[in-house]
């Protein structure tokens, strides 16, 4: 959106700005359609006048060529000048001018009218899909955590002011430019430098909006306000649909250029050779060559893919599926296996504390206070649960320094001048055995996720938590099986808890107690076994696996920024049932593209052959050619529903 901030007269300049943006968006959406229709109107007038007032009619035709053909001719000339290549736009313009040259003004004008109409339809689809995608932004407004006298407060990033202190947790995007005040971490700055090796940051170092925080937590003083949100960035990427085109579309673009050259070559020889070799008259040869040029132009082929893809992306967007490009729809259609993360993906990701054990010297509340103070810095669902529990008991939290996440294992931090570690029980197995509390912790793990709190080689307590499975998890697994997709569960959690959730979801194949790099290894293995694998996850720990999978899918609501950035598809409303919808949508897209290409190719071949065998009149050629183009586009628009 365009924002003007004039100091004297904010309101009226805003009105003007919004008027201007309305006009621009209207022009982008309907400009081409209006030009096509006006061109069509001028053509109709020309046609009515042709018999009586020929010269007046011709001026109407010339006008209709100019109005209707302007946008397409510009595209064609651009390709010619900048890429020194021919495309279908130029072919159509050449055909229309050729038709006019032999006196077939009406046919030429109709050619341009329908061609520009099909172009306008395509632009409308692009507009539609980018609007549907933008609407997704409202589903996840981006927030920052502001630090005010020790308390944390979540605010929309637009409300950040210069000199605010913000906390950036592990795996989160940095919401604004700033300077590190406290904490150490490594930050992936690939989004601005292109270099993906993380850069170490400590007090005094600058950090930049849009870069991705690693394992540590940082206190940052804001130096510039920011309006660039993660979704704004993703959406810009998606609207630039060219960035991730399906293979078929990339092939079609190369094909179009080569084919266009061949058509021009054949057309020129059709004009020159028959009069020379067969003694045809020039007008006969020119006529046949023009018919050839019209029917051989690959408009319908070129229009076979993009409108289908854009309609499918649009359709997905309205159901909360943010595809970062048409290529991913293509790959999800042929997925053979899906790997699902447990915490936050199969489960709601809002666990609740069910039990606390405290060993001397701390009591339960003191233990919870320490644990929660550290977990305020973490983005993990378990961390949120522990903080919520402390807050519900009215426990005042302490400041945590030197926070470090050990992704997939636990966290570490300094509270009340001592360093504590909280994480999976296996981190403390040796200590627990020595202290003779191993059995007690193991018993707690029956159906619970347990985290152990330790300090300097001693276990001082454990917290048991329970998460609920998403109600749609079991129906989703069922649906995926009917689609012929195998389902596997990957989790960093303990075996016992993993088994319980897996049996509730109906998943037979489970890998538990995985570290992030092991998740990645298993996804690679699955890719070897099945060929094409999707991975669904929410956490920082899932990001490497999401990147490796054929299609990485992130939970939009529960997901960490790291997962959202790496994924190819974001489930904005966290509805797992939409996964099978996405697969079916991808399959439908592929089917419709195939139909279109076959239909377009058959029509072209049939018309070319008829023209050579018996000759066809130019109006019929125009009708067959343009009719098939429009049909192919309309067929593609079916995917909007």
* Position 489 contacts ligand ADP (CB under 6 A): no
CB 546 → Mg ion: shortest distance, Å? Answer: 11
Measuring CA to CA, how many Å separate 580 from each of 335, 410, 505, 534?
A: 11, 33, 15, 12
In terms of phi and psi (left: phi > 0; alpha: psi -120 to 50; beta: otherwise), the region of 447 is left
Residue among 469, 537, 538 at smallest CA distance from 506:
469
CB 600 → ligand ADP: shortest distance, Å? Answer: 47
Residues 6+ away with beta carbon under 8 Å from 249: 305, 306, 309, 326
What does DSSP say about strands 401-406 and 509-511: parallel, antiparallel, or unpaired?
unpaired
Per the CB < 8 A criterion, the answer to whether 212 and 191 are in contact is yes
* Position 423 contacts ligand ADP (CB under 6 A): yes
Nearer to Mg ion, 324 or 342 (CB): 342
- What DSSP state is assigned to residue 399? P
CB 454 → ligand ADP: shortest distance, Å? Answer: 11
The DSSP result for 200-242, as a single string, is EE-TT-EE-TT-EE-SB-EEEEEEE-----HHHHHHHHHHSGG
- Selection from ligand ADP, Mg ion, none that 212 binds (CB < 5 to 8 A by kind) is none
If binding means CB under 6 A, how many residues of this protein chain bind ligand ADP?
23
Strand partners, 404: 216, 412
Cis omega (within 30 of 0) for bond into 361? yes
User: According to CB under 6 A, which one of 409, 468, 521, 587 is a site residue for ligand ADP?
Assistant: 409
Nearer to Mg ion, 311 or 379 (CB): 379
Question: Interacting stretch for ligand ADP, rule CB under 6 A, among 12-20, 81-89, 435-443, 491-499?
Answer: 491-499
Residue among 304, 270, 311 at smallest CA distance from 287:
270
Nearer to Mg ion, 76 or 214 (CB): 214
Helix (H) or strand (E) holding 562: helix 561-566
Rounded Cα distance between 156 and 170, Å, is 19
CB 408 → ligand ADP: shortest distance, Å? Answer: 4
Binding mask 368-387 for ligand ADP (x = CB under 6 A): -------x--x-x-xx----
Question: Interacting stretch for Mg ion, rule CB under 5 A, among 82-90, 314-322, 338-346, 433-441?
Answer: 338-346
* Position 343 contacts Mg ion (CB under 5 A): yes
Give the active site residue among 341, 467, 493, 538: 341
User: According to CB under 6 A, which one of 320, 344, 586, 636 is a site residue for ligand ADP?
Assistant: 344
Residues 6+ away with beta carbon under 8 Å from 380: 405, 411, 539
CB 494 → ligand ADP: shortest distance, Å? Answer: 7
Residue bearing tokens 């007032």: 53
Residue among 187, 161, 186, 178 at smallest CA distance from 219:
178
- Selection from Mg ion, ligand ADP, none that 116 binds (CB < 5 to 8 A by kind) is none
* Position 507 contacts ligand ADP (CB under 6 A): no
* Position 574 contacts ligand ADP (CB under 6 A): no
Residue among 118, 274, 111, 268 at smallest CA distance from 620:
111
Longest Cα–Cα distance in the chain: 109
Query: Is there a catalytic annotation at residue 341?
Result: yes
CB 33 → Mg ion: shortest distance, Å? Answer: 46
* Position 274 contacts ligand ADP (CB under 6 A): no
- Selection from Mg ion, ligand ADP, none that 449 binds (CB < 5 to 8 A by kind) is ligand ADP
Nearest-CB residue for ligand ADP: 492
Rounded Cα distance between 216 and 496, Å, is 30
Edge-to-edge, what's the strand order for the sheet holding 449-455? Answer: 352-358, 458-466, 449-455, 418-423, 410-415, 401-406
Please give the residues from 523 up to 562 whose contact with ligand ADP meets the rule CB under 6 A: 539, 541
- Selection from ligand ADP, Mg ion, none that 383 binds (CB < 5 to 8 A by kind) is ligand ADP
User: According to CB under 5 A, which one of 132, 177, 341, 493 is a site residue for Mg ion?
Assistant: 341
Please give the residues from 539 up to 568 whose contact with Mg ion meets the rule CB under 5 A: 539
Residues with catalytic function: 341
Question: Which positions lie near Mg ion, rule CB under 5 A?
Answer: 341, 343-344, 538-539
Question: Which positions lie near ligand ADP, rule CB under 6 A?
Answer: 341-344, 375, 378, 380, 382-383, 408-411, 422-424, 449, 451, 491-493, 539, 541
């Amino acid at each position: 959106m365009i924002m003007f901030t004039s100091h004297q007269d904010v309101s009226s300049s805003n009105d003007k700005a919004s008027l201007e943006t309305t006009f621009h968006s209207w022009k982008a959406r309907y400009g081409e359609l209006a030009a096509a229709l006006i061109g069509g109107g001028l053509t109709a007038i020309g046609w009515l006048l042709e018999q009586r007032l020929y010269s007046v009619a011709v001026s109407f035709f010339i006008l209709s060529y100019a109005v209707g053909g302007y946008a397409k001719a510009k595209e064609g000339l651009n390709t010619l000048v900048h890429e020194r290549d021919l495309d279908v736009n130029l072919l159509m313009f050449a055909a229309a001018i050729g038709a006019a040259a032999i006196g077939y003004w009406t046919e030429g004008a109709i050619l341009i009218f329908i061609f520009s109409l099909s172009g306008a339809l395509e632009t409308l689809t692009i507009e539609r899909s980018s609007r549907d995608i933008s609407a997704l932004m409202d589903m996840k407004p981006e927030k920052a955590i502001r630090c005010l006298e020790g308390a944390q407060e979540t605010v929309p990033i637009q409300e950040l002011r210069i000199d605010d202190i913000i906390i950036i947790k592990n795996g989160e995007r940095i919401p604004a430019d700033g300077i590190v005040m406290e904490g150490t971490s490594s930050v992936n700055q690939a989004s601005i430098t292109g270099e993906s090796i993380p850069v170490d940051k400590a007090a005094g170092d600058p950090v930049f909006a849009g870069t991705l925080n690693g394992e540590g937590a940082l206190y940052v003083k804001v130096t510039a306000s920011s309006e660039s949100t993660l979704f704004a960035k993703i959406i810009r990427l998606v609207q630039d649909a060219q960035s991730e085109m399906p293979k078929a579309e990339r092939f079609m673009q190369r094909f179009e250029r080569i084919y266009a050259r061949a058509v021009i070559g054949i057309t020129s020889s059709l004009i020159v050779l028959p009069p020379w070799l067969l003694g045809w008259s020039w007008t006969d040869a020119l006529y046949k060559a023009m018919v050839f040029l019209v029917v051989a132009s690959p408009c319908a082929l070129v229009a076979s893919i993009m409108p289908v893809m854009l309609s499918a992306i649009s359709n997905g967007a309205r159901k909360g599926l943010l595809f970062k490009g048409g290529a991913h729809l293509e790959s999800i259609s042929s997925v053979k296996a899906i790997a699902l993360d447990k915490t936050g993906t199969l489960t709601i990701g809002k666990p609740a504390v069910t039990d606390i054990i405290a060993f001397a010297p701390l009591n339960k509340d003191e233990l919870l206070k320490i644990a929660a103070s550290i977990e305020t810095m973490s983005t993990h669902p378990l961390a949120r649960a522990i903080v919520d529990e402390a807050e519900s008991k009215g426990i005042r939290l302490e400041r945590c320094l030197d926070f470090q996440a050990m992704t997939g294992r636990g966290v570490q931090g300094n509270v009340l001048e001592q360093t504590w570690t909280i994480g999976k029980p296996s981190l403390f197995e040796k200590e627990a055995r020595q202290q003779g509390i191993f059995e007690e912790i193991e018993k707690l793990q029956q159906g619970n996720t347990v985290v152990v709190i330790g300090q300097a080689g001693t276990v001082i307590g454990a917290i048991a938590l329970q998460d609920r499975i998403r109600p749609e998890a079991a129906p989703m697994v069922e649906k995926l099986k009917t689609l012929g997709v195998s389902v596997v569960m990957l989790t960093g959690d303990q075996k016992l808890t993993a088994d319980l959730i897996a049996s509730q979801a109906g998943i037979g194949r489970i890998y538990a107690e995985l570290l992030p790099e092991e998740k990645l290894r298993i996804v690679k293995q699955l890719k070897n076994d099945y060929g094409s694998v999707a991975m669904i996850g929410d956490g920082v720990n899932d990001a490497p696996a999401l990147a490796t999978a054929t299609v990485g899918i992130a939970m939009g609501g529960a997901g960490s920024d790291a997962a959202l950035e790496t994924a190819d598809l974001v489930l904005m409303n966290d509805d797992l049932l939409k996964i099978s919808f996405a697969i079916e949508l991808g399959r439908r897209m592929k089917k419709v593209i195939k139909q279109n290409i076959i239909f377009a190719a058959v029509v072209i071949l049939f018309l070319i052959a008829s023209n050579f065998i018996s000759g066809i009149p130019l109006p019929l050629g125009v009708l067959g050619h343009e009719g098939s183009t429009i049909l192919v586009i309309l067929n593609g628009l079916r995917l909007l529903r």
